[in-house]
Amino acid sequence: MTTYKFKTTINCGSCVKAVTPHLQKLEGVEEWKVDTDNPDKVLEVKTNSLDAETIQNTVQKAGFKAEQLS
């Protein structure tokens, strides 16, 4: 399993609710969470089959920015 981390603009509970349906529809996401207490609002996604770009594009379609952390 691969874990990707992204710096995002998902900064509150309402933002998490807005992105939830997009990430839940994405086949291959095993688990995800957003640390809104972290200054970088880190989104962590665990997957067996997706690449970072696909996850990033999905977050952007939901109206948020996502930048992969190394």
pLDDT for 4-21, tens place per residue?
999 999 999 999 999 999
Indicate if the pLDDT at residue 70 is higher than 90: no
State how far the alpha carbon of 9 is from the alpha carbons of 51, 58, 59, in Å.
Answer: 20, 13, 10
**Cβ count near 1 (within 10 Å):** 8
pLDDT of residue 65: 97
**Residue 23's domain is classified under what CATH number?**
3.30.70.100
pLDDT of residue 2: 96
**pTM for the whole structure:** 0.93
How many independent structural domains does the chain possess? 1
pLDDT band at 64 (very low <50, low <70, confident <90, very high): very high
What pLDDT digit, counting tens, does each position of 40-54 carry? 999 999 999 999 999
Does residue 59 contact residue 11 with C-beta atoms inside 8 Å?
no
Domain span at 14: 2-68
